[in-house]
Amino acid sequence: MARYIFITGGVVSSLGKGLMAASLGALLQARGYKVRIRKFDPYLNVDPGTMSPYQHGEVYVTDDGAETDLDLGHYERFTGVSARQSDNVTSGRIYQQIITRERRGDYLGATVQVIPHVTDAIKAFALADQGDHDFILCEIGGTVGDIESLPFMEAIRQLRNELEPDQTLSVHVTLVPYIAAAGELKTKPTQHSVRELASLGIKPDILLCRAEHPIPESDRRKIAQFCNVRPEAVIPALDASSIYAVPLQYHGEGLDDEVLRGFGITDAPAPDLSRWYDIVDRYENPEGEVTIGVVGKYVGLQDAYKSLNEALVHGGMANRVKVKIKWIDAEVFEQDDDAIAAQLEPMHAILVPGGFGERGSEGKIASVRFARERNVPFFGICLGMQMACIEAARSAGNANASSTEFGPTDQPVVGLITEWMTAEGLQKREAGGDLGGTMRLGAYEAVLTGNSHVSGVYGGAARISERHRHRYEVNAAYREPLERDGLVFSGMSPDGLLPEIVERPDHPWFIGVQFHPELKSKPFAPHPLFAGFIAAALRQSRLV
């Protein structure tokens, strides 16, 4: 029987509910329990797939092809449990399902209402796909009081009544602000937030209080008294040295002990936190430093590249070096040629990440050219690989080489993919069809060339499985002329039709991949491509 932990937030957004859920999941795992973490998103989009990165941050993709909230990346990185389609739902998806059923006549003429139809659909989502997990953590997006989240709160209230008394627990994340003029912390925002939650019929069992300063014992007792919880259930959550220190910090404050006590579990094994001590040690005690230039188009919001940022940090952990990331707007290189050398020469390695649309593409191509000509380690991901192929074609004399994503071209080195094979059979897409959920999404295999650089990076593997999210592909018809110019296709789809990996054997480290390896990197298992990339940057740092 799975136990449910419902995680809500109040006062303000961005308090770190997702990180809290991931950390708690890791702590429960460290005690030998099996966990799964889910995210309920109140917005009306069916999924975040068509949302701007500036609106929502990155779109995290699961093995089974779901486009999900970036918090699922935290969940995977902290627990190692692969997320699934059933681990993220939005209001839009709930309403879409309900309206589809109503149109089919499934409700037999009944009036379709928020209660019971919407709340029943939310509860069904929460209870589905339990497997043999001991704990299922459910994070509710937004803050208490948001009109969008009310159906989810009502569904939680109902579930807490319908499940066994010792089967659910409510954790509420709040803010305890510090007022500098008064020189003290203020507990009133937390009190009001808990009162708002209680007005919806949900009594929190544990309060996780975000604060910039230590919370005195007197304030913890005050919060407990006014919010009707035990003083031990008021858990301080101060800023940590890194996100990977958070599990240890929460354990030190007794979060996992209090959760288990709330479920009446008194015989739980002690946690094995050696993995997290090693991670923190590698992060806080590096033996060197490298600087990576990331040339992208969404650099104004680092959450747009959240998994990429963390994967680079993991690569640093694997090499025991600190990774400094220099975020560079690709458009700058389109406006000022002198800026290319000025900004990229200090870099020990260059990475061009994924993206959509023409904006910044010429700047990315210029970055590829700089890395190729100067023998600077280069890593291209998704669109970054495509830009490397276009740059190779242009350097070979094809000045018109481009992508159909950027407009009509008579030299489509990159083009729209309309058919590809999956485990379910042939997938087809129309050029003018819907944008949402129509890309090549999820895990696909690639076959590696045996004597290639990338095969060595993967430890000699002949086949790999990586996650994709793209609508355009490198045109395999250009393989022969590109390979003559030195850009080798070292990874292909199993049917040999879709290029997955390119590399330059005569370069110190030059690899482009069509997939997104950052989505599978974890602090305790850095992705081999990022570990190898940072190792190459470290070698480069010793040359300059």
Q: Say which of 172, 251, 507, 516 is annotated catalytic.
A: 516
Q: At what angle do helices 150-162 and 91-104 cross, to 10 degrees?
A: 80
Eight-class DSSP state of 522: B
From residue 252, alpha-carbon distances to 28, 242, 244, 335, 484 in Å are 14, 15, 14, 51, 59
Distance of CA 18 to the CA centre of its chain: 11
CB 122 within 8 A of CB 155: yes
The catalytic position among 58, 310, 473, 518 is: 518
User: Which of 424, 387, 21, 11 shows the shortest CA–CA distance to 223?
Assistant: 11
Closest alpha carbon to 500 in 458, 537, 437, 438: 458
Paired sense of beta strands 402-403 and 488-492, if any: unpaired
Is 133 among the residues known to form the active site? no
Please report, for residues 41, 85, 430, 439, 468, the alpha-carbon distance to residue 55 in angstroms, rounded to integers and kept in the order given: 14, 22, 27, 20, 22
User: What residues contact residue 450 under an 8 Å CB cut-off, 6+ apart?
Assistant: 462
What CA dihedral angle connects 416, 421, 427 and 433, to 10 degrees?
Answer: -10
Mark whether 209 is an active-site residue.
no
Do the beta carbons of residue 59 and residue 469 sit within 8 Å?
yes
Q: Is 516 tagged catalytic?
A: yes
The kind and range of the H/E element at 252 are helix 246-252
Q: How far apart are the first and last CA of the chain?
A: 59
Q: Are 102 and 75 in contact (CB under 8 A)?
A: no
**Is residue 71 within 8 Å of 18, Cβ to Cβ?**
yes
Angle at 264 between CA 260 and CA 268, to 5 degrees: 50
Which of 154, 382, 500, 507 is flagged as catalytic?
382
The amino acid that residue 83 corresponds to is: A
Q: What is the side-by-side strand order in the sheet with 3-9?
A: 88-90, 35-41, 135-140, 3-9, 168-175, 206-211, 234-238
Helix axis angle, 17-30 to 274-284, nearest 10°: 130
Q: Cα(260)–Cα(266) distance, rounded to whole angstroms? A: 7
Q: Whose structure tokens read 């399902």? A: 97
Q: Which residues are marked as active site?
A: 382, 516, 518
